[in-house]
Amino acid sequence: MQSQSGNQQPPEKTPTALTQVGTDVGRAAGIVRAGGLVGMPTETVYGLAANALDAGAVAKVFSAKGRPTFDPLIVHLADVSDLSRVVSIVPALAWRLAESCWPGPLTLVLPKAATVPDLVTSGLPGVGIRIPAHAMAQQLLREAGCPLAAPSANPFGGISPTTAAHVVAGLGGRVEYVLDGGPCRVGVESTVVSLMGVVPVVLRPGGVGPERLEELLGHYETARSDAALDDSAQPAPGMLSRHYAPRTPLRLIAATGVAVPVPGRRSGLLTWGSESEIPGFDRIFRLCSEGNPEICAAGFFAALRDLDSAGLDVIIARQFREIGLGVALNDRLRRGAAGGEK
Ligand code: TXA
Ligand code: MG
């Protein structure tokens, strides 16, 4: 990741008196056991974690994020042996997927057990389950001894956090403790696959790319992302059009398009690739010169934050090649740009 013009980092708020940052997993485990909230590092993005079996704790997650209760939460487990605590039936395909993708950036929607409060699933019969790979998340899950409901740890609709400082910048004062596990390795959220019907349905593209899904699932359907961009035709809960959005208006150009600043407006560019001279931009963030989507993903949300805090009038973003994690990144870009300019 390299910043071509302007080297200063985005301003990061210092932790408020009510939010502390550290690496004390025992302390974080105590907080969630007592019904509180903690910031949890995972390999995808940071989560805002609460005891998934405690409806009161889960309610705090929705209010801290300002998240509507029709948008269900993912439940995180330490190990497949915990599945029976939260899931009523585990289809054979789920075991196969678990074997090759867990721990990792895959969420499976499976029939929920009665122990899971309806608030977690927004009243749906399925619960989203993920086993994260990050060592600190694993340690927290084991020490807390309970499944953890955790959405991305950002105010609803905003840019997902990939460092502990991002969590504090968005939710400082609304979460007791943030575990600092360093920058997230994958950088984009998990792929969400529903196994509630006869045919698997990919509800959200994410950290497991489409090529791998095809190998693993064979035939599957995709909740149409263009349909999801129209809120009247929401195919999956929580797939709102305007999401992952910077405050600065975001405009997209094609992967092979020419980047041109908007005349008379302070323009920023989020790009990848090796073109050397791009005149006229006030700030340029180049994610990776080869355009490797895995490398681009790791720095993607931090780059959007950097540009969003640079006092620009508009951010122009180059879309990614539709391969691997590029599919998930383009989905996030489209949602970030949806809803028009303010
Ligand atoms: O990588 C990730 O998935 C991160 C980390 C923290 O694990 N979590 C995350 O959570 O991205 P969140 O809340 O920002 O996005 C969860 C999305 C929901 O908006 C919804 O689209 C889908 O996952 N989802 C969760 N539970 C579901 C359910 N029961 N049925 C259908 N979709 C569900
Ligand atoms: Mg989110």
Q: Is residue 2 part of a domain?
A: no
Q: How far is the CA of 13 from the centre of ligand 2 (A)?
A: 21
Q: Which residues line ligand 1 (CB under 6 A)?
A: 42, 44-45, 47, 71-74, 105, 107, 109, 121, 124, 126-128, 130, 150-152, 189-190, 192, 203-204, 236-239
Sequential DSSP letters for 85-122: HHBS---HHHHHHHHHH-SSSEEEEEEBPTTS-HHHHT
The answer to whether residue 203 sits within a structural domain is no
| 38-40 and 283-286 strand pairing | unpaired
Annotate 62-92 with three-state secondary structure.
HHHHCCCCCCCCEEECCCHHHHHHHECCCCH
Using the CB atoms, write b or e for 124-133: b if 16+ within 10 Å.
Answer: bebbbbbbbb
Same domain (yes/no): 179, 287: no
The string of pLDDT tens digits covering residues 83-123 is: 999 999 999 999 999 999 999 999 999 999 999 999 999 99
Residues spanned by the domain of 157: 20-189
* Structural domain includes residue 138: yes
Task: Find where tokens 């489409």 sit.
Answer: 210
Top-confidence residue, 275 or 48: 48
The string of pLDDT tens digits covering residues 137-196 is: 999 999 999 999 999 999 999 999 999 999 999 999 999 999 999 999 999 999 999 999
From 189, 215, 230, the end of a domain falls on 189
- Whether 149 and 47 map to the same domain: the answer is yes
Q: How many folded domains does the chain comprise?
A: 2
* Atom of ligand 1 at shortest range from CA of 67: 13
